[in-house]
């Protein structure tokens, strides 16, 4: 009896102890528990709100505001209550604002503007911080500090033809540059200037594993900044397609490993990299195969008609793998220290082919499986579809005609698979997961849905056929569907990037915002309604890509205190709590500061006029959103120090006087007290008066 009791006792107590341990998960991260965090985040899995039941007076509200049932449905489809996250993130170029826009879908809310080619004070980009200044200076050219850009076509990095959410590339049409943005912190890490050209348009497009970033040229000039009169246009002017080698490990473009193909002086336009079946090939459009040189006087022919005389321009078909082999084998020349694959070499080695395409084409878009290329000819009413297999067959057949420069010209009938009559001004095409293409129609101000053929047609619908058109407001340029230019489009959401908004928004003066319109493409068939208008008042976006939000794994704060965003590693010399100092060595003064709510350490810097000041500052916070600014009056200095970040500023204390500096982020209740004084003692009494 006693023995039974004892055994029973042990049998009960031991499991209790073990159970007790398991119930409380051990906190190994030192952070709040994951399940408690996610439980409070309003992500998609959050089902705390009751669905279905609608508050009683919605009908009254809708009728008072003049909203139709479709309007109410659109509102319900796009509305995000506080804390609910968007399902997709759209990266849109900021046009001649020179920045990148980050927009959530379906809410269409602007989440962030990423400072890219242009100084941006909120992010402290270009206002004293050494890292940002160095990135901007990387894009300088022709003895100019280039501080604006015309950003056109962003490209997300890809792995196996799918967005991987790691990097973002964006081209600058105005100056032939590209920028690399690291999506761990959404900051620009590198700007690279094309050494042989000062203009482009066909960038950026990446190969399926982001080995290469493609930059097609645009307005041909003598390459490398040389001079030649326009009378020598045909002989001395050249176009280019530049292939930038991306070093994913370093997160940087490697110009040493990059090269440009010399091409005839047509105006190259948009490109796309082949994928799957067509991987290793690149396709670019061109315009002005007429070699028009513009109207210099009253009798000339202007470009708009001179460059539109031919019915057909040339699609450029590039065997990139072969080009890379030739470059590796040293079959290049050098211009301004940059490798060039000469036109004749490309012709001789079978790297470059042309095939006719309807004139003034724009989009040049490879279908998800890589077997077709869709070209929108702006002055044609068809989307023209080329078959990669037919292109290969035409190349194999040989016996080419050539253009004036000797480039093999593959006959249109031999490479074309289908022409789909869509309407006026077809421009850019993306895809869904059900075998449909979506093409913007600039002149019609509409989006067309049409059937692809071949292996995409399993539903019995007639291939290569217009299904429906939705009017958009107005003058649509590019469009983007969710992951719609990858190997696996999602078939959700389409954003029409309209150039004109005319009467869509409140009048804000004669410069109008652009209009991003969200279309619901998931319902299929002839249904493709516009469900949201979003004004873009910061530039003229061109192209965009839409990535599933859960592919992005950005830092919430920098991983460690003293993080240098430029090297993406901890700077061992970064000031930390307890190591702050002001050290004078002759007239060189090194200041090591920390910032934490709500004070800087130290708070006083005493300088002498003419001192060379190097200032290192670390935000030693670890809390999410605890960003501090560092703004010095009348010195054009403003840093944004995100939690953990360290920055360096250098300046010469030329101006004597007393200069308070302060934190530009409203960081805490004692934000106004987060201040310091920089005193610059005049070198003589007279100099103290400004």
For other proteins, how many residues bind (rule: CB under 8 A)?
33
How are beta strands 151-159 and 162-172 bridged, if at all? antiparallel
Which residues partner with 567 through β-bridges? Answer: none
Cα dist. 194→255, 325, 333, 558, 600 in Å?
Answer: 9, 21, 16, 32, 42
Distance CA 212, CA 202 (A): 14
How are beta strands 588-596 and 599-601 bridged, if at all? antiparallel
Instruction: Centre a 10 Å sphere on the Cβ of residue 641 and count the other Cβ atoms it contains.
Output: 27
23 is a site residue for other proteins (CB under 8 A): yes
User: For 210, left (φ over 0), alpha (ψ -120 to 50), or beta?
Assistant: left
* In the complex, least distance from residue 2 CB atom to other proteins, rounded to whole angstroms: 7
642 is a site residue for other proteins (CB under 8 A): no
Is 13 or 397 the residue whose CB approaches other proteins more closely?
13
Question: What beta strand segments (E) does 94-247 contain?
Answer: 100-105, 110-114, 151-159, 162-172, 177-182, 187-193, 200-206, 212-217, 239-247
Question: What beta strand segments (E) does 161-295 contain?
Answer: 162-172, 177-182, 187-193, 200-206, 212-217, 239-247, 252-263, 267-273, 281-287
CA-wise closest residue to 391 among 422, 435, 360, 350: 350
* Region near other proteins per CB under 8 A, out of 6-14, 365-373, 544-552, 631-639: 6-14
CA angle centred on 533, ends 531 and 534, rounded to 5°: 135
* Region near other proteins per CB under 8 A, out of 215-223, 355-363, 466-474, 620-628: 620-628
1 is a site residue for other proteins (CB under 8 A): no
* In the complex, least distance from residue 622 CB atom to other proteins, rounded to whole angstroms: 5
Among 212, 320, 610, 621, binds other proteins (CB under 8 A): 621
How are beta strands 382-387 and 416-421 bridged, if at all? antiparallel
Is 18 or 54 the residue whose CB approaches other proteins more closely?
18
Is 509 or 578 the residue whose CB approaches other proteins more closely?
578
Per-residue x/- marks for other proteins, 37-66, CB under 8 A? x--xx-------------------------
Is 494 or 626 the residue whose CB approaches other proteins more closely?
626
6 is a site residue for other proteins (CB under 8 A): yes
Give residues with Cβ within 8 angstroms of 526, minimum separation 6.
467, 468
Helices 58-65 and 69-78, packing angle to 10 deg: 110
Per-residue x/- marks for other proteins, 649-688, CB under 8 A? ---------------------x--x---------------
* In the complex, least distance from residue 122 CB atom to other proteins, rounded to whole angstroms: 20
12 is a site residue for other proteins (CB under 8 A): no
* Region near other proteins per CB under 8 A, out of 12-20, 142-150, 498-506, 682-690: 12-20
Is 155 or 561 the residue whose CB approaches other proteins more closely?
561
Instruction: Centre a 10 Å sphere on the Cβ of residue 309 and count the other Cβ atoms it contains.
Output: 12
* Region near other proteins per CB under 8 A, out of 15-23, 66-74, 149-157, 163-171: 15-23
Is 10 or 53 the residue whose CB approaches other proteins more closely?
10
Say how many Å lie between the first and final Cα of the chain, rounded. 101
* Region near other proteins per CB under 8 A, out of 5-13, 63-71, 262-270, 516-524: 5-13
Residues from 563 through 592 that contact other proteins (CB under 8 A): none
21 is a site residue for other proteins (CB under 8 A): yes
Among 11, 32, 59, 584, binds other proteins (CB under 8 A): 32
30 is a site residue for other proteins (CB under 8 A): yes
Is 22 or 690 the residue whose CB approaches other proteins more closely?
22
Instruction: Centre a 10 Å sphere on the Cβ of residue 571 and count the other Cβ atoms it contains.
Output: 19
Cα dist. 7→2, 11, 14 in Å?
Answer: 9, 6, 11
* Region near other proteins per CB under 8 A, out of 51-59, 328-336, 532-540, 596-604: 596-604
Helices then strands, each counted (H, E), the chain: 11, 44
Among 181, 204, 596, 653, binds other proteins (CB under 8 A): 596
14 is a site residue for other proteins (CB under 8 A): yes
CA atoms within 13 A on the CB side of 388: 24
Per-residue x/- marks for other proteins, 115-154, CB under 8 A? ----------------------------------------
Among 331, 551, 597, 671, binds other proteins (CB under 8 A): 597
Per-residue x/- marks for other proteins, 343-362, CB under 8 A? --------------------
Compute φ and ψ for 487, nearest 5 degrees: -75, -15
* In the complex, least distance from residue 597 CB atom to other proteins, rounded to whole angstroms: 6
Distance CA 521, CA 470 (A): 11
How far, in whole angstroms, is CA 363 from its chain's centroid?
17
* In the complex, least distance from residue 598 CB atom to other proteins, rounded to whole angstroms: 7
* Region near other proteins per CB under 8 A, out of 180-188, 509-517, 546-554, 615-623: 615-623
How would DSSP label each residue in 525-547? TT---EEEEEEE-SS----EEEE
Distance CA 527, CA 531 (A): 12
13 is a site residue for other proteins (CB under 8 A): yes
* Region near other proteins per CB under 8 A, out of 31-39, 60-68, 187-195, 289-297: 31-39
Compute φ and ψ for 295, nearest 5 degrees: -100, 105
623 is a site residue for other proteins (CB under 8 A): yes
Is 172 or 621 the residue whose CB approaches other proteins more closely?
621
26 is a site residue for other proteins (CB under 8 A): yes
Among 392, 587, 622, 655, binds other proteins (CB under 8 A): 622
Three-state DSSP class for residue 319: strand
Among 11, 27, 145, 588, binds other proteins (CB under 8 A): 27
User: For 119, left (φ over 0), alpha (ψ -120 to 50), or beta?
Assistant: beta
**List of residues contacting other proteins (CB under 8 A):** 2-3, 6-7, 9-10, 13-14, 16-17, 20-24, 26-27, 30-33, 36-37, 40-41, 596-598, 621-623, 670, 673
């Amino acid at each position: 009896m006693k023995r039974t009791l004892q055994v029973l006792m042990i049998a009960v107590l031991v499991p209790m102890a073990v159970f007790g341990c398991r119930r409380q998960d051990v906190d190994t991260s030192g952070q709040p528990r994951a399940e408690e965090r996610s439980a409070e985040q309003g992500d998609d899995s959050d089902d705390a709100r009751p669905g279905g039941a609608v508050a009683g007076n919605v009908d009254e509200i809708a009728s008072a505001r003049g909203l139709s049932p479709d309007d109410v449905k659109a509102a319900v489809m796009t509305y995000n209550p506080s804390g609910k996250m968007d399902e997709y993130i759209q990266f849109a170029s900021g046009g001649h604002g020179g920045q990148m826009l980050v927009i959530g879908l379906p809410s269409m809310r602007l989440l962030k503007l990423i400072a890219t080619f242009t100084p941006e004070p909120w992010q402290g980009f270009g206002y004293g911080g050494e890292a940002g200044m160095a990135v901007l200076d990387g894009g300088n050219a022709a003895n100019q500090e280039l501080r604006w850009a015309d950003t056109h076509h962003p490209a997300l990095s890809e792995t196996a033809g799918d967005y991987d959410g790691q990097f973002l590339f964006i081209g600058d049409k105005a100056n032939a540059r590209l920028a690399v943005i690291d999506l761990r912190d959404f900051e620009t890490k590198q700007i690279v200037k094309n050494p042989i050209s000062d203009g482009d348009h066909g960038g950026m497009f990446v190969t399926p594993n982001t080995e290469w970033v493609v930059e097609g040229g645009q307005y041909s000039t003598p390459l490398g900044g040389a001079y030649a009169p326009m009378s020598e246009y045909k002989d001395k002017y050249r176009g280019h397609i530049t292939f930038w080698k991306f070093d994913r490990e370093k997160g940087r473009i490697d110009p040493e490993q990059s090269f440009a193909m010399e091409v005839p002086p047509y105006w190259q336009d948009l490109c796309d990299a082949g994928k799957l079946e067509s991987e290793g090939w690149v396709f670019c459009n061109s315009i002005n195969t007429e070699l028009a040189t513009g109207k210099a006087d009253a009798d000339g022919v202007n470009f708009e008609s001179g460059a539109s005389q031919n019915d057909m321009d040339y699609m450029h078909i590039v065997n990139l793998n072969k080009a890379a082999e030739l470059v590796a084998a040293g079959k290049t020349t050098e211009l301004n220290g940059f490798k060039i694959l000469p036109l004749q070499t490309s012709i001789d080695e079978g790297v470059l082919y042309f095939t006719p395409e309807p004139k003034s084409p724009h989009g040049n878009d490879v279908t998800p499986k890589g077997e077709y290329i869709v070209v929108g000819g702006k002055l044609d009413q068809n989307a023209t579809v080329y078959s990669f297999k037919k292109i290969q067959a035409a190349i194999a057949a040989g016996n080419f005609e050539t253009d004036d420069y000797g480039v093999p010209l593959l006959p249109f009938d031999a490479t074309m698979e289908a022409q789909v009559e869509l309407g006026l001004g077809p421009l850019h095409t993306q895809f869904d997961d059900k075998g449909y293409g979506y093409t913007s129609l600039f002149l019609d101000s509409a989006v067309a849905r049409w059937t692809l053929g071949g292996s995409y047609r399993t539903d019995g619908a007639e291939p290569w056929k217009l299904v429906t058109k939705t009017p958009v407001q107005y003058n649509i340029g590019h469009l983007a569907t969710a992951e719609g230019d990858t190997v696996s489009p999602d078939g959700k959401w389409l954003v029409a990037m309209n150039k004109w908004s005319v009467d869509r928004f409140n009048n804000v003066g004669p410069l109008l915002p652009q209009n991003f319109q969200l279309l619901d493409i998931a319902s299929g068939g002839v249904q493709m309604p516009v469900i949201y208008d979003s004004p873009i008042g910061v530039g003229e976006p061109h192209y965009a890509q839409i990535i599933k939000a859960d592919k992005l794994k950005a830092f919430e704060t920098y991983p460690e205190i003293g993080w240098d965003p430029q090297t993406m590693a901890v700077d061992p010399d970064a000031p930390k709590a307890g190591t702050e100092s002001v050290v004078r060595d002759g007239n060189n003064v090194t200041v090591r500061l920390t910032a934490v709510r709500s004070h800087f350490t130290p708070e006083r810097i005493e300088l002498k006029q003419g001192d060379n000041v190097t200032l290192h500052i670390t935000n030693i916070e670890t809390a999410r959103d605890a960003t501090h600014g560092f703004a010095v009056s009348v010195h054009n200095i403003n840093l944004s120090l995100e939690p953990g970040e360290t920055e360096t500023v250098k300046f010469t204390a030329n101006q004597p006087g007393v200069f308070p500096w302060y934190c530009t982020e409203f960081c805490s209740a004692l934000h106004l007290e987060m201040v310091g004084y920089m005193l610059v003692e005049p070198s003589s009494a007279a100099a103290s008066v400004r």
